[in-house]
A and B are shown apart, each in its own frame.
Chain A
């Protein structure tokens, strides 16, 4: 081997080794805090005057942001650019390929000491509590007082005081800003504009042609529904009588739960019990058993993925479909293009329970390089101006003022509809933009890149207002029907640490339910159903459900007191 060859080999080796070590080296995320970042140590920056919002110091600064949602934007679209121009703040975004509610990414970030400047994660992310307990986060109260005093009044007045009271930790401090929390103020607004009941509430959807055939009977009780379904199945024996997917049925028959008005927990006097002890839960299982016994509920609904179910429904293979009110706009089944799907009357006992926990949580780790600019940005983002920029886009003059998807007007103020937030009138999508959304919802949102994709904090009372249309008779009728059937249970917002003994009991109970629900639904006889149910209850007791229920009861009493309802 020649000297030159040897030297070349050594050089190659060194390069390969260096490349390897480079891969193992630190994050090297020098984007964060670059480009003119003030890079001040935490807490060292002097507080600015309240008037100096994001519009004051808008020198360029790049912050790092982590979101556990795969849909989160890269902060590169026209919406993000408009906000950057106004505030000087841009983000380098890190997000998973698939949503990561388990917090695996956050665990890695903690382990490698590489938390970003800002985190916008699912409000139920399992690692959020560890971040709080591990003292990795700034307290919002502290940052608000120091850098963004106006934010407190914005949150209290425009969102509702619950954001800064209902999420206090044991030390009395609030560490997360929650978006999508159903505050009283939001509920009032939603009711006012016929926007309380979401279109996705679980419903039983029927093919209109088959329902017409049997004379459109009343289906508002389980018995009446079964009778109607049985008749339709008799007329069309080649069809699957009822079809849903496994996420709707495995484990808890969750699709039927609202029809039976099952609450998240069963209140027995002052004691809070698991739903397995709720007589309504057993009644629902019995209903499933009766359906299966008559051949109306098949195993497919416990096995199929939603894609498989959607294809079968589109092919016209099913009679009743586990879906929601939007089915009425779906394409007709292929075997009869002249029919459509329609929502059946919900059972009289229908109640959709919500334990308000919020949708997304924004937290600021102590690794944040520029808390002052971050809080100024938040103050702006939370304000009406910020909410408009983030969620409504560009303002036009009238309903027809629309140029292009990327940078043209997206909304206008409709002065004919009064609005509590905007004296100019209700923000409404321009007609062409609304049409573009109706044509291709996801594609259009991606193109304009504003809205939830770059959210920091979301005031649903503003962001949703563009979609609320009280003059839409169909929508108003739906809200009139469903809104009274929605019930909120903030007193059931229990925290069970998944890694604790109680968390393990909870997980094992969930697994046990998955095993037993199918056994119960497909039981061979009434006696078999009863003996299987007894055996299930016995197994659940052996797992230690009583301990779990004691903890529910304890937290329930605490929450009731906290919520001012002892």
Chain B
């Protein structure tokens, strides 16, 4: 209490942030009540008809929901297994580049895709992988294929492409946090390892990686909550009726069946389900991480 009093001014400074969180993050949670109502804008929260779990029953009876959920989980798992660790790997590689100017060039150019809107990114990739695009023309010239590959209409190719685009767009930006963590590692450790005859790989394995594990664990716990969240941009801009069986994600379902039809209650039920699953997953991952490595988020 004594400490709190002495820090009163500083404590007060956090107050606006707490208020911000309260107003914009916690109060809106109450809005989830419409998932259990037949929400009517005129009647509002308090006078709309309560319908219990009807929206959830409808959701679980809809085959489109299962298709969207399956795609979402598969794409998220691929992201988690391949896209998520990619920035760590990239940071380790960049860190080993001895030429400062080249290192900066690689770093800067790898950040750039992060700042391009996905609409632009999608157009660019559609052009690149078009039957008459650069990739297909190169493959044809090199006689690697006889006919252009229909990248965007082959359902089996959507997932790998989603991973490739995800890495291309996010790897540079994602690496920043790891590079910052690497720069914080005590240089004496590297010196000592060098004197003991450790090569580059051994220094990475025995010094850099162990120092990055706590950060990696925290990011992993946060990331696992997105297992039930899909990438709407990719689904809308790169999805089509040919690859729908692999590109249609839960956000698109929610948008079409909920918001486009002005069925706000139904859309809320879908997102409420996603939120509950995300919370459960974060709790489980946090517990597991604590057990396995001693690193917990809370």
Task: Identify which of A6-14, A335-343, A421-429, A442-450 touches chain B.
Answer: A6-14
Which residues of chain B have C-beta atoms less than 8 A from A499's C-beta?
261-263
Interface status of A5 (Cβ within 8 A of chain B):
yes
In the complex, B144 has a CB within 8 A of chain A = no
B241-A9 in contact (CB<8A):
no
- Distance in angstroms from A8 CB to nearest chain B CB is 8
A82 interface residue (CB < 8 Å to B): no
Choice from B16, B150, B241, B262 contacting A103 with Cβ under 8 Å: B262
Tell me the bound Cα distance from A16 to B241 in angstroms.
49
Alpha-carbon distance A126/B258, docked complex (angstroms): 13
B42 x A134 contact (CB < 8 A): yes
Chain B nearest Cβ from A536, distance in angstroms = 13
By a CB distance below 8 angstroms, the chain B residues around A134 are: 41-42
Interfacial chain B residues near A102, Cβ < 8 Å: 259-260, 262
Chain B residues with CB under 8 A of A130: 41-42, 262
Is the CB–CB distance between A17 and B130 below 8 Å?
no
- CB contact under 8 A between A515 and B262, given known A17-B15, A20-B19: no
From 254 to 271 in chain B, residues with beta carbon under 8 angstroms from any chain A beta carbon are: 256-257, 259-264
- Among B44, B244, B262, B263: residue with most chain A CB under 10 A: B262
- Contact bitstring B222-251, A, C-beta under 8 A = 1, else 0: 000000000000000000111010000000
Q: Which residues 304-357 of A have a CB within 8 angstroms of B?
A: 304-305, 307-308, 312, 317
Q: Does B123 belong to the interface (CB within 8 Å)?
A: yes
Whether A13 contacts B41 in the complex (CB less than 8 A), given A250-B241, A517-B241, comes out as: no
Question: With the chains together, A298 CA to B13 CA distance in Å?
Answer: 62
Asked whether B12 is an interface residue with its Cβ less than 8 Å from the other chain, the reply is yes
A412–B220 Cα distance when bound, in Å, is 70
Does B85 belong to the interface (CB within 8 Å)? no
Name the residue of chain A whose CB is nearest to the CB of B41.
Answer: A110
A303 touching B240 in the complex, CB below 8 Å, given contacts A13-B16, A17-B15, A504-B263:
yes
> A127 in the interface, Cβ–Cβ < 8 Å?
yes
Q: Are A503 and B261 in touch, CB under 8 angstroms?
A: yes
- A12, B123: Cβ atoms under 8 Å? no
Which residues, 1 to 15 on B, are CB-close (under 8 Å) to A? 8-10, 12-13, 15
Q: Known: A20-B23, A107-B41, A511-B64. Contact between A303 and B242, CB under 8 A?
A: yes
Chain B residues with CB under 8 Å of A250's CB are: 240-241
Docked-complex contact B241 and A251, CB < 8 angstroms: yes
Closest approach, in angstroms, between the C-beta of B148 and any C-beta of chain A?
10
Q: How many residue pairs, one in A and one in B, have C-beta atoms under 8 Å apart? A: 104
Given A16-B16, A20-B16, verify A9-B261 contact (CB < 8 Å). Answer: no
Task: Tell me the bound Cα distance from A165 to B9 in angstroms.
Answer: 68
CA distance A303 to B131 in the complex (A): 11
CB contacts (< 8 Å) of A127 on chain B: these are 262
Interface residues in A200-224 (C-beta closer than 8 Å to B):
none
B253 to chain A, nearest CB (A): 10
Q: Does B283 contact A (CB under 8 A)?
A: no
Chain A residues with CB under 8 A of B64: 508, 511
Contact of A498 with B by CB under 8 A: yes
Which residue of A10, A246, A308, A312 is within 8 Å of B240 (Cβ)?
A: A246
User: Once the chains bind, are A317 and B132 in contact (CB under 8 Å)?
Assistant: yes
Decide if A97 is an interface residue (CB 8 Å cutoff): no
- Is B26 close to A, CB under 8 A? no
Tell me if B131 and A300 are in contact (CB < 8 A): yes
Q: Is A537 an interface residue (CB 8 A)?
A: no
Report yes or no: A9 in contact with B131, Cβ–Cβ below 8 A.
no
Contact string, B166-183, partner A, CB cutoff 8 A, digits 1/0?
000000000000000000
Contact A10 B9, beta carbon cutoff 8 Å: yes
Nearest chain B residue, comparing its CB with the CB of A5: B9
Q: Which of the residues A126, A135, A302 comes within 8 Å of B242, measured between beta carbons?
A: A302
Question: When A17-B15, A24-B23, A317-B132 are in contact, do A303 and B256 touch as well, CB less than 8 Å?
Answer: no
Bound CA span A503–B16, Å: 44
Distance A421 CA – B291 CA, assembled complex (angstroms): 84
B127 CB within 8 Å of chain A? yes
Per-residue interface assignment for chain B, residues 1 to 45, with 1 indicating a CB less than 8 Å from any chain A CB and 0 otherwise: 000000011101101100110010000000000000000011010
* CB–CB A110/B241 < 8 A: no
Contact with B along A508-520 (1 / 0, CB 8 A): 1001001101100
C-alpha gap A250/B236 in the complex (Å):
14
A21 to B23, CA, bound (A): 9
Residue of B nearest to A129 (CB): B262
Smallest CB gap from B7: residue in A: A1
Q: Does B152 have its Cβ within 8 Å of any Cβ on chain A?
A: yes
Taken together as a complex, chains A and B put the C-alpha atoms of A10 and B16 apart, in Å, by: 11
User: Which of chain B's residues have a CB closer than 8 A to the CB of A146?
Assistant: none
Q: A118 → chain B, closest Cβ, in Å?
A: 20
Contact B261 A17 (CB under 8 A): no
Q: Does A111 contact B (CB under 8 A)?
A: yes
Bound together, the chains give a CA A504 to CA B260 distance in angstroms of 11
1/0 per residue, CB under 8 A from A, across B71-109: the answer is 000000000000000000000000000000000000000
In the bound complex, what is the Cα–Cα distance between A312 and B260 (angstroms)? Answer: 32
Assembled-state Cα–Cα distance A548/B260 (Å): 19
Best-surrounded residue of A16, A302, A303, A498 (most CB of chain B within 10 A): A303
Q: Considering the chains assembled together, what is the distance between the CA atoms of A498 and B266 in angstroms?
A: 13
Task: Say yes or no: is A299 at the interface (Cβ < 8 Å to chain B).
Answer: yes
Q: A13-B13, A299-B153 are in contact. Are A107 and B240 (CB under 8 A)?
A: no
CB distance from B5 to the nearest CB of A (A): 12
Which residues in B have their C-beta under 8 angstroms from that of A562? none
Are A107 and B241 within 8 A (Cβ)?
no
For the complex, what is the distance from the CA of A3 to the CA of B220, rounded to whole Å? 44
Task: List residues of chain A with CB within 8 A of the CB of B131.
Answer: 298, 300
B260, A507: Cβ atoms under 8 Å? yes
B241 in complex: contacting residue of A20, A24, A307, A518, CB < 8 Å: A518
Residue of B at shortest CB range from A300?
A: B131
Cβ contacts under 8 Å, A104 to chain B:
259
A129 to chain B, nearest CB (A): 10
- Complex formed: what's the CA distance from A246 to B239 in Å? 11
**Given A308-B126, A515-B241; A9-B260 close (CB under 8 Å):** no
A508, B266: Cα distance in complex, Å: 15
Q: Within 8 Å CB of B23, what residues of A?
A: 20, 24
Enumerate chain B interface residues (CB-CB to A < 8 A).
Answer: 8-10, 12-13, 15-16, 19-20, 23, 41-42, 44, 64, 123, 126-127, 130-132, 150, 152-153, 240-242, 244, 256-257, 259-264
Closest 8 CB pairs of A and B: A9-B9, A134-B42, A16-B16, A498-B261, A13-B12, A299-B153, A6-B9, A518-B241
11 contacts across the A-B interface (CB closer than 8 A): A13-B9, A13-B12, A102-B259, A102-B260, A103-B262, A111-B41, A134-B41, A250-B241, A298-B131, A511-B256, A514-B244
Which of A's residues lie within 8 Å of B, judged by CB? 1, 5-6, 9-10, 12-13, 16-17, 19-21, 24, 102-104, 107, 110-111, 126-127, 130, 133-136, 246, 250-251, 298-300, 302-305, 307-308, 312, 317, 498-499, 503-504, 507-508, 511, 514-515, 517-518
Known: A13-B9, A20-B23, A499-B261. 8 other contacts (CB 8 A): A16-B13, A19-B16, A104-B259, A107-B264, A302-B240, A302-B242, A308-B127, A518-B242
